[in-house]
């Protein structure tokens, strides 16, 4: 299996670009075309022998392949970028079982000039190309269904998130009924989340702003899993490690299922005895996980240790001599962020930007400072889910960081400059790829003052 590290990703992109350029001048049987096509198909086949799919294309006009960004474009990358822009293609997805002839046919179609996105889709359907799919540039929410119609990956992401909620709900119900939960549904939904996150670490982050206060534990568990997977991906962890982070994150609080509801939902401060009972949940959860089949052994340790703190001043006290595990500290960071940005019976939520400031104060004591620093970098100056005011007087919701300029994230404008609510959110770049400025962020806005329920907005799919 050829590892899809950055040099191999660059080689794949270079071969693809070269084949597209060359096939316009030579017949497919010519060695100048046959050789790069053969090598390209070999690399693709080796990669897909381990992964169900991979994709490449443009994000903010920067070429990517899976998690790799090519910030300084070579000539082949520039050529391919221009062709993608010409055909209005934002992303090409290649799936398992793509044959040599199918790949060759697509490259012939793709190389033709003057062919727009819709025409190319029609030509692909006529040629029976089913293992290679396209997403339109500038609207990465849309993907193709098997019948050639368009579906909404944004909705797919919400559906995946909701499946995770359902799985955690079932696990907790099983525990309450004295059953050992089945881990298979959890593994399946986390695998789907891993595929999304390894391609785009920010794809699911907005969904962590969905807060169901009546089912806090379920939402919180899924949110911690999402945040931990994103953080692990940006830290360079491989897919298996990111998968374990997702599982551990989603299971980290299942021990609370065995804590009396009166303690869990108490609006005031817990008594000493009640807090001692609450502190049992990591041990209770880890014992359950040990009995579940198909889970990596160290997931038990992550769940047991997620309240130990970086300086080991937390609980359970008997476990404070356990060897360090980076996954424990990653889940602890994710847990802290989601907890302090959520309304609880005993606390008001903190906006995402302020939450990062509070977490930095915990660095190297309660939280691992290096991991906090990376988390802050990942979330940006204005984290996903932050409501902001622009200098145009518009109010917008941050939906994606900008890796080129953290002060200029991509936003959805919700309220126009005159204070009127837009009928539908408008996607807006604050600075475009040519450096032209649209607006600057001048303040963070309290959603309550604007009567905006961010979680409901995101969960509705309108975001």
Domain CATH number, residue 302: 1.10.3210.10
Most confident of 32-36, 85-89, 361-365: 361-365
* Domains: count for the chain: 3
The H or E element that residue 178 is part of is none
236 with 297, same domain: the answer is: yes
- H-run or E-run covering 168: helix 153-176
Residues 293-341: tens digit of each pLDDT: 999 888 999 999 999 999 999 999 999 887 778 999 999 999 999 999 8
Q: Are residues 159 and 143 in the same domain?
A: no
Does 119 reside within a domain? yes
pLDDT of residue 286: 96
| 282/303 Cα distance (integer angstroms) | 6
- The angle formed by the CA atoms of residues 261, 265 and 269, to the nearest 5 degrees, is 120
| Range of the structural domain that residue 113 is part of | 6-151
pLDDT at 459: 61
Report the half-sphere exposure of 285 (CA within 13 A, side-chain side): 31
Query: pLDDT tens, 29-77?
Result: 777 788 889 999 999 988 887 777 788 988 767 788 876 778 677 899 9
Q: How far apart are CA 401 and CA 382, in angstroms?
A: 8
- Whether 114 and 55 map to the same domain: the answer is yes
- Among the three residues 91, 117, 151, which one is the final residue of a domain in this structure? 151
CA-based max dimension of the chain:
80
* 1: confidence class by pLDDT, cuts 50, 70, 90: very low
Residue 1 forms part of a structural domain? no
Q: Which of 379, 397, 418 is the last residue of a domain?
A: 379
For the ranges 80-84, 208-212, 233-237, 382-386, which has the lowest average pLDDT? 208-212
Residues making up the chain, counted from first to last: 463
Both 81 and 18 in one domain: the answer is: yes
Residue 3 binned pLDDT confidence (cut-offs 50, 70, 90): low
Token pair listed for 102: 């199918």
Of the CA atoms within 13 Å of residue 62, those in its CB half-sphere come to: 15
Task: Clarify whether residues 409 and 329 are in a common domain.
Answer: no
162 and 137 part of one domain: no
Going by the DSSP 8-state scheme, the letter that residue 139 receives in this structure is: -
For 196-221, what is the mean pLDDT?
Answer: 81
Distance CA 357, CA 379 (A): 12
Residue 184 sits in the same domain as residue 226: yes
Among 264, 346, 251, smallest CA distance to 305 is for 251
Q: Are residues 134 and 161 in the same domain?
A: no
- Check residue 108 and give its pLDDT: 92
**Same domain assignment for residues 236 and 346:** yes
373, 224: one domain: yes
Q: How confident is the model at residue 150 (pLDDT cuts 50, 70, 90)?
A: very low
Q: Assess if residue 33 is contained within a domain.
A: yes
Does residue 84 surpass a pLDDT of 60? yes
Question: What is the reported pLDDT for 391?
Answer: 95
Within a domain: 200 = yes
Q: Are residues 325 and 290 in the same domain?
A: yes
Whether residue 426 has pLDDT greater than 60:
yes
Domain boundary (119, 134, 151) is at 151
DSSP secondary structure letters along 34-91: HHHHHHHHHHHHHHHTTSSEEEEEEETTEEEETTEEESS--HHHHHHHHHHHHTTEEE
Residue appearing with tokens 């660059």: 10
């Amino acid at each position: 299996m050829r590892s899809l590290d950055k040099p191999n990703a660059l080689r794949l992109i270079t071969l693809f670009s070269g084949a597209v350029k060359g096939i316009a001048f030579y017949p497919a049987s010519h060695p100048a075309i046959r050789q790069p096509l053969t090598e390209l198909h070999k690399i693709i086949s080796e990669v897909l022998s381990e992964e169900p799919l991979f994709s490449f294309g443009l994000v903010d006009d920067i070429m990517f392949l899976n998690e790799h960004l090519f910030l300084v474009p070579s000539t082949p990358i520039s050529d391919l970028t221009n062709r993608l822009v010409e055909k209005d293609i934002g992303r090409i997805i290649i799936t398992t079982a793509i044959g040599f002839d199918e790949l060759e046919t697509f490259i012939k179609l793709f190389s033709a000039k003057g062919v727009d996105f819709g025409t190319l889709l029609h030509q692909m359907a006529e040629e029976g190309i089913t293992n290679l799919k396209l997403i339109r540039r500038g609207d990465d929410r849309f993907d193709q269904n098997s019948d050639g119609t368009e579906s909404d990956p944004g909705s797919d992401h919400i559906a995946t998130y909701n499946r995770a909620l359902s799985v955690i709900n079932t696990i907790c119900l099983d525990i309450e009924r004295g059953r050992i939960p089945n881990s298979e549904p959890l593994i399946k939904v986390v695998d789907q989340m891993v595929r999304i996150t390894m391609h785009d670490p920010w794809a699911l982050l907005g969904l962590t702003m969905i807060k169901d206060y009546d089912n806090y534990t379920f939402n919180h568990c899924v949110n911690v899993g999402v945040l931990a997977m994103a953080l692990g991906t940006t830290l360079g962890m491989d897919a298996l490690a990111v998968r374990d982070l997702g599982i551990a994150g989603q299971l980290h609080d299942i021990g609370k299922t065995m804590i009396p509801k009166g303690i869990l939902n108490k609006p005031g401060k817990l008594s000493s005895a009640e807090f001692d009972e609450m502190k049992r949940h990591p041990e209770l959860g880890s014992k359950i996980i040990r009995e579940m089949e198909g889970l990596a052994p160290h997931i038990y340790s992550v769940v047991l240790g997620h309240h130990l703190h970086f300086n080991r001043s937390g609980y359970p006290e008997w476990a404070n001599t356990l060897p360090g595990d980076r996954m424990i500290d990653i889940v602890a960071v994710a847990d802290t962020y989601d907890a302090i940005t959520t309304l609880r019976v005993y606390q008001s939520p903190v906006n995402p930007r302020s939450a990062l400031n509070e977490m930095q104060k915990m660095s190297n004591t309660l939280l691992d400072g290096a991991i906090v620093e990376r988390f802050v970098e990942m979330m940006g100056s204005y984290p996903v889910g932050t409501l902001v005011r622009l200098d145009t007087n518009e109010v917008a919701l941050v939906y994606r960081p900008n890796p080129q300029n953290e002060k200029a994230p991509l936003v959805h404008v919700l309220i126009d400059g005159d204070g009127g609510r837009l009928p539908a959110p408008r996607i807006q770049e604050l600075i475009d790829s040519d450096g032209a400025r649209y607006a600057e962020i001048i303040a963070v806005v309290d959603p309550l003052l604007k009567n905006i329920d961010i979680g409901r907005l995101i969960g509705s799919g309108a975001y």
